[in-house]
Structure 1
Amino acid sequence: MEEFAVHDPTQLLSAASEFAYYPGLQTDTSAKDFLDRFPLPVIINALQSKMDVLGLESTLVACLERIFRTKYGTSLIPQYMSFVHVGLQAESQLVKCLACKTVSYLLENVNRGAGFGAQLVIDYDVYPLLLDCLISGDENVAAASMDAIKNLASSPKGMDIIFPANNDEVTHLRNLAARSSSVGRVRVLSLIVKLFSISSSVASAVYNINLLSLLEAEISNQSDMLMTLSVLELIYELANIPYATQFLSRTPLLQILAMLIGLFNVLVEPILRSRAIMISGRILSKDDIFMSIDESTIKTVLLAIDGRLRSLESQDADECESALEALGQIGSSIQGAALLLSSSSSIAKHVVDAAFDRQGRGKKMAALHALGNIVGENRPEDHRLLNNDVEENLRHLIYETAAKSPKITPSGLFLSTLQQDSEIRWAAYRLITGLVTRPWCLIEICSKQEIISMVTDAHIESAKKGMEARYKCCQAIHKALLASNKLNSDPALTVIASKLQEAVRRGPYLAREWAEAQPAVVTAERL
């Protein structure tokens, strides 16, 4: 390598710094011009020689990153895979991170037929080194390694590397997790979730070799609270993947979560219980879960959440609000709302009671939003109403709660809620928007002139979300009123409809129909 020795490192440092930190886009031409002056072997030799020049390593790493991001630079990577192999084993975390990123650039951009990049990974025995970087590298190295492995999974040949047919392979992710420290295990589990998120076919591979059971085992163990919390966060991320339900419904995950949430499980830390509640809500918020899992399991989870909500321990604000938010997620689907509002369930009653409770602002706001979801504010208009029995139960719950309160009527409850602070009003607008589709609620809303005045008042809200929620509420009332058959028989409703129509015409943000021009300059006052 004598021919590639660096005779003037300061010159290389200056040129590399200019290239690496150039504020504009580096093109293929600029990359080629730079490498004509300083060939890749020269730069690699400078990195490996560990010259004691301040900032040289970090600058050369940044320079190579920008070179390999160009198409010209990427095209050179196959010729320098031996450097990548060495770089993945370097003592320097910067060099390791660069090597991992270089594998990603190779897999993303080299167009020489399907599986070309994956074959190079096999030929140079790169995959085991990526796994070692994942387990033992610093956070940046681990993240870069994870990205490279995700890119590897994009080809069938790459899938064969990551999911070997032989379960005894050292590189099998189950075996890797088993021999890793707690930090290493979390990283392996995080990789599993990221692989699962790539596509349904990759998710199927993850499921078929039973890798999801690693997540289940960790949250069942609970010997290390931080470890359990980290894994719960990964499951929360997993539950948000659109096609996750079809796989999660075949696992015992919901039963495990129900045990974590359970009223008599005093050994579980409140923060773990809160996350378990939120994950359950996210999973059960999807319509297809009700078609792929038995109702008894769903009811077990719901009863566990409701038990926490009603227990004295659930006075813990975070846990209580998590339970209400989860119930709101579940109630956002038609099946979930119908289950919560069924006559055999008392869950909706606790949500309604909390929504109109005069104590606990956070709890009240979470309950109002949850009830807004349950009554269909975030569902399409033609999917807001439920079956007759469920609708009757909802009406009964609202009227019963009102009758036991000082406000006596639902309209009194709605008005009282609208008269509170802006965050509570926002939740109240959402609730009314969903409820007013029901004729009984429309009558209640129109019976209080103060409610109409507030929802048509363009000055009342200053925050964007409040303005939009108020306007959406105004639209919903107006539309429900026009759809009713009461306008011709009641002149008072005609006046209300006119006021609502004018408010709708003004839009959500226009506070005044006419704005008077204000002088930019005023004359000085004279003594």
Structure 2
Amino acid sequence: MEEAYPVDAAQLLQAATDFAYDPSPQSDASAQEFLNRFPLLAVLNALQTKSDYPGLEDALFDCLDKVFRTKYGASLIPHFMPSVVAGLGAPSQNVRRLACITVSSLLDNTDETTAVYLILQSGVYPLLLRCLIDGDEQVAAAAMAAIKNLAGFTTGLDIIFPASSTEQTDLGDLAAKCSSLGRVRILALIVKLFSISTTVASKVYNANLLSLLEKEVGNANDTLVTLSALELLYELVEAQHSMEFLSRTTLLYLLSSIISNASADSILRSRAMLITGRVLSNDNAFLFIDEPSYRNVISAIDRRFAFLESQNADEFECAIEALGQTGLCKKGAAALLLSSPAPVRHVIDAAFDCQQHGKRLAALHALGNIVGETRSGNDVLLDGDAEESLRRLIYDTSSKTPKLTPSGLLLSVLQQDSEIRLAGYRVITGLVARPWCLIEIISRQEIVDIVTDKYNETEKIGMEARHKCCEAVYKSFTSSSKLMSDPAHSGLATKLEEAIRSGPYLGRKHAEAQPVVTTEQRF
């Protein structure tokens, strides 16, 4: 082939480098001009036969990557499928990666019927799987992107999930036969596919592929693989439709088992708790997960606190964060407060009694979630029993401290550093929707002064949190005609309203330039 397509390697290297690294946007015209000078088949041949020429392979990779991203370049791909197939099986990782990228470009720029037909007829999909499993990291990423693009077509899904699969394409069979790294990559592909849509997730579930994730999460023999599987599960539960399918698996049970296993690696327990929090932060979770299941996993986290506070600060913070994630959703917050004993007591104790900065910060943010700072409207307040549990827990905690009252505890938080103070604003923003907390807040002038002080914060996030807190206090106060008419609180509404009207970003007072006058020096 080299004789049939003679090309000067030095000239090609220079031209490819100029094209690849030209800072101006590449256009169809520039791509066509380059290929008029060096025909595509000649370039592809040089990529395969002159890879030992210094710098040529890298330059051609960057050049062709740009060429195939133009519409003109993409239009040529269907005519060069044999070269694409050869590239997918090439020994060079750069060539394999380029071939995977080319497949993605084909799918992005060609109609579904033509693109899927070419991929099916050329046997591209099994080669993409091979690149995923045994390519280097960049090749695997490019292969996964191409397969995900293929899954975006209805007929493409039929290639990935055929009525009868072969050993070459069955993800379950491939996972059983490859290395631990290959298994993790297959799991990563499954998660990517699952996250596309409910339709694709259904195909993943019906193909029994979630069982591969279950197997690795429950793997007690390889901590690194288990941790990788947990990371992928964390990504999977971000999909809004995930609860419908996860509820049919044993994954929640497996997470509970990891959390409860005192001999498990601490990092596994930590990740399991965070994933659990992510699962239960989804409102849909409580539509599909039965009450015993979510109470079991909450209890597993609660039991860990007895061993954590003095032994493992990182795991303690993860447990706190998991409870805070659960509290993002109204039903999750209620479940935490109605559990017996209520695990929220650990959050409140750490938020107001813990002397360690990291624990206290995590607990305050978790409490902010639980009391509804991120929720809106009718979702801020919980049902009667859960609300009573929250009120009782906060008053019980405050009564055991030198501050004695919730207002004393909240003031002490607002008097701390900016990170703690920001978390404190979040807690007050959520809590002040409760009449009992509103009274605590407005009865403490120091709290009102801090919340309305437009010069108190210097960073944008702190300014916004303080302003939002001020708005929440104003809204609750003006909703109570009884408090509004109380002479003891005269002028409070005006003070809050003025602070709100100033906006969050007024910042520091402007220092006025002062004239400097000095007497003339005489010698």
TM-score, normalised to structure 2, is 0.96
Within a 5 Å distance, the mapping from 1:349-428 to structure 2 comes to: 349-428=345-424
- 1:370-428 deviations in Å (ceiling 9; x for gaps): 11111111000321111222212211111111111111111111111111111111111
SS at match of 1:356: helix
Equivalent-residue separation in structure 2 for 1:238 and 1:312 (angstroms):
28
Q: Does residue 431 of structure 2 align to residue 435 of structure 1?
A: yes
Q: How has the CA–CA distance of structure 1 residues 2 and 219 changed in structure 2, closer, same or farther, with 3 Å as cutoff?
A: closer
Separation in 2, partners of 1:146, 1:52: 28
In the TM superposition, 1:466-505 aligns within 5 A as 466-505=462-501
Give the CA deviation at 1:343. Answer: 6.6
What is the 5 A alignment of 1:496-515? 496-511=492-507, 515=510
Aligned 8 A contact 1:164 1:172 in 2: no
Matched, 1:233 2:228: no
SS at structure 2 position matched to 1:486:
helix
Instruction: Report the alpha carbon displacement of residue 10 of structure 1 after superposing the two structures with TM.
Output: 1.3
Pairwise CA distance, 1:510 = 0.3
Deviation, 1:489, is 3.2
Q: CA deviation at 1:95?
A: 0.6
| Post-superposition offset of 1:496 | 2.0
Q: Once superposed, what is the RMSD of the aligned Cα atoms?
A: 1.7
Contact 1:308 1:314 in 2 (8 A): no
Alignment equivalent of 1:518, drawn from 493, 513, 516: 513
Please name the residue that 1:73 is paired with: 73
* Aligned pairs (5 A) from 1:86-485: 86-111=86-111, 114-166=112-164, 169-262=167-260, 265-312=261-308, 315-342=311-338, 344-485=340-481
Q: Aligned in 2, Cα 1:374/1:313: closer, same or farther, shift over 3 Å?
A: closer
The residue correspondences of 1:33-44 to structure 2 (distance < 5 A) are 33-44=33-44
Uncovered stretches (5+) of structure 1, i.e. residues with no partner: none
Cα distance in 2 for residues equivalent to 1:226 and 1:176: 20
CA distance in structure 1 between the partners assigned to 2:7 and 2:403 by the alignment:
87
* 1:263-313 alpha-carbon deviations (Å, 9 max, x no partner): xx2321000000000000000111111121110010000000111123247
- SS of corresponding position for 2:491: helix
8 Å CA contact retained: 2:308, 2:315: no
Structure 2 gaps of 5+ residues are: none
SS at match of 1:170: coil
For 1:291 and 1:137, locate their aligned partners in 2 and report how far apart those are by CA, in whole Å: 41
The residue aligned with 2:59 is 59
* Aligned mates of 1:332, 1:20 — CA distance in 2: 48
Return closer, same or farther for 1:55/1:2 CA change in 2, 3 Å cut-off: closer
Q: Deviations over 1:98-126 (max 9, x none)?
A: 00100110011113xx3321111111111
Identity %: 58
Within 2, Cα distance between the matches of 1:291 and 1:362?
34
What one-letter code is carried by the residue in structure 1 that aligns with 2:46? A
- Does the aligned pair in 2 maintain the 1:110–1:117 contact within 8 Å? yes
Paired letter, 1:290: F
Residues 16 and 63 of structure 1 are in contact (CA less than 8 Å); yes or no, is this contact kept in structure 2? yes
Is residue 167–residue 174 contact of structure 2 (8 Å, CA) maintained in 1? no
TM-score normalised over the length of structure 1 = 0.95
Aligned equivalents of 1:269 and 1:393: distance in 2? 34
